[in-house]
Amino acid sequence: MDVADLGLPVDVPSTALFTDQYELTMLQAALKAGTAERRSVFEVFTRRLPDGRRYGVVAGTGRVLDAIENFRFDADVLAFLRERAVVDEATLAWLASYRFSGDVWGYPEGEVYFPGSPIMRVEGTFAECVLLETVILSVLNHDSAIAAAASRMSSAAGGRPLIEMGARRTHELAAVASARAAYVGGFSSTSDLAAGFRYNIPTVGTSAHAFTLLHDHERDAFQAQVASLGRGTTLLVDTYDVAEAVRMAVQVAGPELGAVRIDSGDLLLVAHRVRRQLDELGARDTKIIVTSDLDEYAIASLAAAPVDAYGVGTQLVTGSGHPTCSMVYKLVARAGSTDPKAPLLPVAKKSSGGKTSVGGRKWAARRLDENGVAEAEVVGTGAVPTELLDRRLLVELVKGGEVVAREPLDVVRERHTAAVAGLPLSATQLSRGEPVLPTEYVHGRSGS
């Protein structure tokens, strides 16, 4: 069970300052103008996928819900804003009692998305919604980028386990979020204990080259590790001579040796040699784990190798070259007055350079072909066509300010597996290409 998403075991501090200053200055101006309480709809979407990617992955939703719940301006935060003269006293008084009381709808975490998909829809007054822009984008852009890389690596691994090992390659807090996103995208474990504690993700790890170098002889290191961790441990065999280390590892641990890890060299060639040697030594059940700056392409190149698991670090936690999804948070509809019953009017930015947006409160559905395979992402305003009613993608996440959609991380992980399985087979190709599904727009009224 994902104990963190159910509220345990770690409390999240106030997220109120995980924002840009202009969110607060817009609030101040809107309060003075009398427009702050106008009913508004903001949507999160991306205009394009990273170059060459065939689909995106929604990740970080559970963290967004935590962030919204903990978006509180306590005394210390208010004192900081007052000291810096960020906003005036009237705005500080308004912030002191801030509690998001609106609604949030979104693609369920683990689902896939495409350009224009309304990944998250935030509804409430302008004042309460605009403050959440930066923190929502911060979480979704980071986590979705990591999950997309993880998903591609998982597809390339062809069912072989993947270990997240990137904590030392990124910010210490980003490492925890990265491990969570990687788990959503198909990784089976992490080396990061904070991620295990916070999100109940399985953790793994045995030793590094330093442990071997600590001892006078490699055999001494192996004997010490086996004596401490048992014969089922994983021994690192590439500190000196791989063939000699494999022979020694089996001598020390016997055929019950759990695994050997290879962290350098021509992994394809070395893995074949090690497998043959292990079999000849009677260690037929001993597994081979490879690490060493892997990405999805390196993993795919090892498909024919006798590799049992992969450990991935740098490329994973940096999104394999795409560390953000370029998601934006745009006002798409707002009321013409502060009357709660005033109808919503579609609004949209018009500009050159590809930064236009589509106005109106949107729904999304995924149309299937006659074989039950997804063929289009349909995004629209107004009434949902009857034939798409049971294919709608957005679910309610927050209702009246209360989170209503927390779920175990394993459920999210399983959802992602199912979502990718429902796409055309070309979705998992690593070759460059356009999004595997086109986005079709159906225009109607923005809704009330």
Mapping DSSP to helix (H, G, I), strand (E, B) and coil, where does residue 72 land?
coil
Of 121, 132, 166, 161, give the one whose Cα is nearest residue 146. Answer: 166
DSSP state of 320: G
Q: How confident is the model at residue 443 (pLDDT cuts 50, 70, 90)?
A: confident
CATH number of 21-146+322-442: 3.20.140.10
pLDDT digits (tens, 9 = 90+) for 318-336: 999 999 999 999 999 999 9
Q: What is the mean pLDDT of the chain?
A: 95
From the centroid of its chain, how far is CA 185?
A: 7
Q: What whole-number distance in Å separates Cα of residue 312 and Cα of residue 242?
A: 21
pTM beyond 0.85, yes or no: yes
pLDDT digits (tens, 9 = 90+) for 179-219: 999 999 999 999 999 999 999 999 999 999 999 999 999 99
Q: What is the per-residue DSSP string for 366-418? A: EEE-TTS-EEEEEEEESSPPGGGGGGB--EEEEETTEE-----HHHHHHHHHH
pLDDT digits (tens, 9 = 90+) for 334-373: 999 999 999 999 999 887 666 778 999 999 999 999 999 9
pLDDT of residue 8: 44
Q: Are 381 and 447 in contact (CB under 8 A)?
A: yes
Q: How confident is the model at residue 281 (pLDDT cuts 50, 70, 90)?
A: very high
pLDDT of residue 1: 42
pLDDT of residue 352: 67
Positions of CATH 3.20.140.10 in the chain: 21-146+322-442
pLDDT digits (tens, 9 = 90+) for 393-404: 999 999 999 999
Q: And the tokens for 405?
A: 């959609």
Q: How confident is the model at residue 445 (pLDDT cuts 50, 70, 90)?
A: low
Q: And the tokens for 121?
A: 């829809």
- CB half-sphere exposure, 101, CA atoms < 13 A: 8
pLDDT of residue 14: 87
Q: What whole-number distance in Å separates Cα of residue 335 and Cα of residue 232?
A: 64
Helix (H), strand (E) at residue 67: helix 61-69
Of 125, 103, 99, 109, give the one whose Cα is nearest residue 15. Answer: 99
pLDDT digits (tens, 9 = 90+) for 220-269: 999 999 999 999 999 999 999 999 999 999 999 999 999 999 999 999 99
pLDDT digits (tens, 9 = 90+) for 110-154: 999 999 999 999 999 999 999 999 999 999 999 999 999 999 999
β pairing state of 189-190 and 162-164: parallel
Angle between helices 218-229 and 242-253 (to 10 degrees): 40
Q: Are 46 and 56 in contact (CB under 8 A)?
A: yes
pLDDT digits (tens, 9 = 90+) for 24-82: 999 999 999 999 999 999 999 999 999 989 999 999 999 999 999 999 999 999 999 99
pLDDT digits (tens, 9 = 90+) for 96-107: 999 999 999 999
- CB half-sphere exposure, 202, CA atoms < 13 A: 11
Q: What whole-number distance in Å separates Cα of residue 111 and Cα of residue 207?
A: 36
Q: How confident is the model at residue 405 (pLDDT cuts 50, 70, 90)?
A: very high
- Token pair 């986590």 is at which residue? 143
Positions of CATH 3.20.20.70 in the chain: 206-301
CA angle at 405 for the pair 113 and 162, rounded to the nearest 5°:
55
Specify whether domain 206-301 bears CATH 3.20.20.70: yes
Q: How confident is the model at residue 415 (pLDDT cuts 50, 70, 90)?
A: very high
